[in-house]
Structure formats: C-alpha cells, structure tokens
C-alpha cells in the first residue's frame, strides 16, 4: 500500500481507531489505469517513471478529446466543457479548491450505470488537474 500511495496511484481518505488498531482507508486516484509497459521500459534509467505515465495519460486524453471534437457538429463543439487558465491562490485556497473539485467529481466517478444497453448512457472523458505553475 505504501508504494501505491508513494507512486500517487492511491490516496489515503480516512483513518479510524478500532480498538487500538489504526485502520486506513484508501481510494484510487482514477477509476481506470492504462500503463503501457513497453513505453515505460524504453525510457532511460534516469527518467521519472511517474512523469512518463502522466505524460502518456495527458497525451491519450488530448488525442481522445480532439477525436471527439472532430466528430461533433460545429454547434455541438460549443457545448463541450473546457477550461484552461491561471488561478491566483495561496496554498490554503489551493487545498480548498482541490477538496471542492474532488467532492464534486467523486460521486460521478463512483456512479455505475449497469444498463449498458441504454442508448442514452454514454461514456465521458474527464481530466481535472490543479498544479502550482513554475515560472
């Protein structure tokens, strides 16, 4: 578990004392993980593997997003949600925003539509990221 947390694949969500035993509860940072081992194995020894995984995930998102936009009619493109910008926050505000974003996305991430034959149910891609910009 420690290695999964250290690598950023799991986050500690709760701890409870149960008769002197500390129980720790974790959640994955994503519903699905895709790791292309051959791409990571090709990286130089000094490369940061976590950075390579993030880079591949962002590239996959970009490719899927652009393919999706390419299939939409012009009027439907405006209905897509996309925000890329700069926020000016202190560390406390950034932490609060992160908690708020996770609180919004978590129920949707955990939602499972069992009726996969329903034509009204479609898969959606989503990427949320909050990071401190380097000047």
Task: Name the nearest CA neighbour of 54 among 110, 2, 8.
Answer: 8
pLDDT in tens, 28-37: 777 666 655 5
Give the pLDDT confidence of 72-96 residue by residue, as tens digits. Answer: 776 666 667 777 788 899 999 999 9
15-to-11, 21, 24, 31 alpha-carbon distances in Å: 12, 10, 5, 22
Pairing of strands 10-18, 21-28: antiparallel
Residue with tokens 């390579």: 52
What are the residue boundaries of the structural domains of the chain, listed by start? 1-30
List pLDDT tens digits, range 1-44: 777 777 777 788 888 888 888 888 888 777 666 655 555 445 44
The SS3 call for residue 28 is strand
Residues 108-132 pLDDT 10s:
877 776 666 677 777 777 778 888 8
Q: How far apart are CA 111 and CA 37, in angstroms?
A: 29
């Amino acid at each position: 578990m420690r290695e999964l947390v250290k690598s950023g694949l799991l986050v500690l969500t709760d701890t409870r004392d149960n008769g002197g035993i500390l129980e720790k509860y974790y959640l994955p940072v994503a519903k699905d993980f895709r790791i292309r081992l051959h791409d990571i194995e090709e990286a130089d020894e000094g490369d940061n593997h976590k950075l390579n995984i993030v880079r591949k995930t962002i590239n996959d998102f970009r490719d899927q997003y652009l393919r999706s936009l390419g299939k939409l009619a012009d009027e439907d493109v405006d209905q897509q949600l996309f925000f890329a910008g700069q926020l000016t926050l202190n560390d406390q505000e950034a932490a609060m925003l992160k908690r708020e974003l996770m609180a919004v996305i978590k129920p949707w991430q955990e939602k499972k539509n069992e009726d996969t034959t329903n034509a009204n149910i479609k898969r959606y891609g989503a990427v949320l990221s909050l990071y401190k910009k380097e000047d």
